[in-house]
Amino acid sequence: MADSTHHTIRRAAARPRGWCCSFAGVPESPDYRALPSAAGGGGGGAQKLPPKSPLAPSFHSSPSSKLAGLIDPRRILSPGRVSPIDSEGSPVVAAAEEDQGAAAMVPFVAVREDEEEGGGGLDLRLSLRGRDGRRVVMELDSAVLCDSSAFFADMVPDASGGTSGGKRIEVDGVDNLDAFKEAVELMFEPDAMRWLARAGLSRAIAVLEVSSSIMFDRGIESCLKYIEAVPWNENEEEKLKRVFSRCTFDESVCKDVLARLQQQCRRGSEDLTVQLVEYVTSGTNSSARKEMQSLVSGLLSKSSVYHKDLSGLNKGGLYQICYSCLSSLVELFVEDSGSVEDAGQAMTVSDRKPMIERISKQTENLNWLFDILVNNDMAEEFVELWAKQDELVRMHEQASPMFRYELSRISASVFIALGKGRIQCPSDTRSQLFYGWFMPMLMDFGWLQRCSKGLDVRILEENLGQALLTLPLQQQQSLFEEWFRCFASRGTECPNLSGAFQVWWRRSFVRSSLEVRR
């Protein structure tokens, strides 16, 4: 061996300090391991950890936990997958090779010393081989590499060992070859932020994870600084969350990114939801209020990706807003009926709008709130609340048809929900609802057809009849008689319930051979 012009030293045997970490997860045994010798003889000393970088106290970690005690001398992997970037201008010389047979090899890190001396300051050859068989060879300045990464500082052969040849490190079985290469290239970049801006956010996240695993502190700090300063889409946000779940970063460098990833103020979403709903119902701009209604409804929908359960809805707070809107609606009808001595006192200076517009706003609010409650299975109390509005029912008879039909718009929503079976209320509540609001519906149906505002009157007719059929037969008879008399005199100005009427007639008077014996 003394006469040989080229010799190879396997780092795993010659230097017990050599180590590697897995990016894929926690090895089966996290204990320190005795390393086998190159000749297959007795094991070397216990695995030692590399010294911490002087740049920061604890910027680095393994993806699964701190590196201490989680070292596997056979493996070094990297996360994610990104596309290569233009490395022009970098002091790193990189070449890619294809090696299909390498994919089946067991991942390991090997360090060799060559007698051939590299030119200039590029005294180290780093060979990276990916799991897909690709291979990248990088000619590097070992001083820069060791100063940048505590991982490589422990792997590079000591020049004082007696040889003057070049140094070689081989890393096999890399999951993300491009990200690993880019993390190394970043060590030689004088302006890391400019390099990351050219690379883009997705690749910066991949480089961040590699930098964490090889203890490249400046790379971690630069990646986090860049990531915090740019917008994220949802896919990038989820990718970043996965990196933070696998890596542990020093709070001093990651606090700004965490502030965007995690809610720092633990104010309950229930209170915020109620406040948003209240902002909408008290809004004075009609078009903006409708747009915000659509936005909030989408967020609170059970099918929405933003709404995982009912924990974000405060039922009591929503009903308080319902009571407030209903109280305002009653006051408006009282004002219209002349019960207020000075009607001008009932109108604030900032809300001098026509009566029909103010009533329409409150009925629109109540219909919207009812829709939210129905979609989240909370609407039974609303039906009971609406069924007990005896004062509104009384004032409906005296009010102008131009805006009293707005009350029947609320009733229409309730009848449709009952007819579709989306609300299950006691029989007494349903009976009270029909005895209070069925006749106003018959009177206002013509106005609802002419001013539908999105209401499908055919769906209303169908479900009004279905809801009526849920009452006891004797009560059905009384209500169907009222409808028959109204329809006979008003025609299409009255809802067509003939289908439901026939069902009631058959159930009440057509005897079958299977009649239950009394």
Q: Which domains does the chain have, with CATH numbers?
A: 124-157+166-261 (3.30.710.10), 269-298+313-333+354-509 (no CATH)
pLDDT value of position 16: 32
Is the pLDDT score of 513 beyond 60? Answer: no
Per-range mean pLDDT, top range of 41-45, 73-77, 267-271: 267-271
Is the pLDDT score of 61 beyond 80? Answer: no
pLDDT value of position 346: 44
Read off the tokens for 355.
């009566």
**Helices marked H in 214-268:** 217-229, 234-246, 251-261
Vertex 315: Cα angle to 290 and 391 (nearest 5)? 75
CA distance 132 to 104: 9
Is the pLDDT score of 262 beyond 90? Answer: no
**Over the stretch 245-258, which tens digit does the pLDDT of each residue have?**
999 899 889 999 99
* Average predicted confidence (pLDDT) for the chain: 75
Whole-angstrom CA distances from 302 to 127, 283, 311, 352, 377 are 52, 25, 11, 38, 10
Residue-wise over 327-355: b if at least 16 C-beta within 10 A, else e? ebbeebbbbbeeeeeeeeebbeeeeeeeb
Is the pLDDT score of 119 beyond 80? Answer: no
CB 425 within 8 A of CB 384: yes
Is the pLDDT score of 48 beyond 50? Answer: no
- Tell me the mean pLDDT in the region 168-185: 90
- What is the identity of the amino acid at 268? G
CA 302 to chain centre: 14
Higher pLDDT, 336 or 108: 336
CA distance 220 to 43: 35
CB 171 within 8 A of CB 126: yes
pLDDT value of position 378: 92
Among residues 245, 253, 376, the alpha carbon closest in space to that of 304 is found at: 376
- Tell me the mean pLDDT in the region 57-78: 34
**Over the stretch 379-430, which tens digit does the pLDDT of each residue have?**
999 999 999 999 999 999 889 888 899 999 999 999 999 999 999 999 999 9
